[in-house]
């Protein structure tokens, strides 16, 4: 797949663009991977049909955006994962960060997700004019808490026993980043 789709955000190594409706099966396959969906608060795997319906609702509204992360390799842009924001509240200038994942196993561990997160944070603060971006992470997902902290998020609190997963209740960790704490990536 050549670089023909118009990117929303781009760095030297990745670009972030709208998800085509022809990519529903690909995204559903990633979201059905236990390594991906185990980190989601809504942890059920997705079918191509549920992914299509989900994206139709996203495109119809203005409170949520989900984009494709592509790795740039020469003249190629390879779809590797997704990133998004939700709960966009323009009056109070805040939104929730997420989801973010690299669905292509061979592209994990290369820093692409962190780069995507930092580009989207720039978009939130510098383009949308957000004051606060927050994220929720389930307690057993300590690696994702550390990942967000690496991007500048700070741990605020934990909602005690807020999520039921794997036969028990877990805390939900709340992190946030304020506009005056944000260090632009681009």
d(CA 179, CA 186): 15
Tens digit of pLDDT for each residue in 51-91?
A: 778 788 878 878 889 999 999 999 999 999 999 999 999 99
* Plot region of 45 (φ>0 → left; ψ -120 to 50 → alpha; else → beta): beta
CA atoms within 13 A on the CB side of 182: 24
CATH for 9-178, among 3.40.50.300, 3.40.630.30, 3.20.20.70, 3.30.200.210? 3.40.630.30
Q: Confidence band (pLDDT; 50, 70, 90) for 31? A: confident
CA-based radius of gyration for the chain: 16
Domain ranges, ordered by start, for the chain: 9-178
- Look-up of token digits 């980043």: 177
77 and 71 Cβ atoms separated by less than 8 Å: yes
Supply φ then ψ for residue 73, to 5 degrees: -130, 100
Q: Confidence band (pLDDT; 50, 70, 90) for 186? A: low
d(CA 59, CA 66): 9
Quick one: average pLDDT of 32-40?
78
- Between 24-31 and 48-60, two packed helices, what is the crossing angle to 10 degrees? 110
pLDDT at 4 over 50: no
76 and 107 Cβ atoms separated by less than 8 Å: no
pLDDT at 45 over 70: no
Tens digit of pLDDT for each residue in 122-143?
A: 999 999 999 999 999 999 999 9
Indicate yes or no: pTM above 0.85: yes
d(CA 27, CA 48): 8
Tens digit of pLDDT for each residue in 93-117?
A: 999 998 999 999 999 999 999 999 9
Q: Token digits for 159?
A: 């909602």
**DSSP state at residue 3:** S
Residues 6+ apart with CB under 8 A from 25: 48, 51
Q: Token digits for 48?
A: 């191509």
| Mean pLDDT lowest among 41-45, 74-78, 125-129, 146-150 | 41-45
Other C-beta atoms closer than 10 Å to the C-beta of 76 total 11
């Amino acid at each position: 797949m050549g670089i023909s789709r118009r990117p929303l955000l781009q760095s030297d190594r990745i670009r972030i663009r709208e998800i085509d409706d022809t990519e529903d099966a690909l995204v559903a396959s990633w979201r059905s991977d236990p390594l991906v969906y185990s980190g989601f608060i809504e942890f059920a795997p997705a079918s191509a049909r549920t992914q299509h319906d989900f994206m139709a609702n996203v495109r119809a509204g203005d409170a949520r955006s989900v984009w494709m992360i592509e790795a740039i390799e020469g003249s190629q842009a390879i779809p590797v994962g997704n990133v998004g924001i939700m709960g966009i509240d323009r009056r109070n200038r805040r939104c929730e960060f997420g989801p973010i994942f690299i669905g292509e196993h061979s592209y994990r561990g290369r820093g692409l997700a962190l780069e995507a997160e930092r580009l989207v944070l720039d978009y939130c603060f510098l383009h949308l004019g957000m004051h606060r971006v927050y994220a929720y992470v389930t307690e057993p997902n300590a690696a994702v808490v550390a990942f967000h902290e690496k991007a500048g998020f700070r741990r605020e609190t934990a909602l005690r026993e807020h999520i039921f997963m794997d036969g028990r209740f877990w805390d939900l960790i709340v992190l946030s980043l304020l506009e005056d704490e944000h260090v632009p990536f681009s």
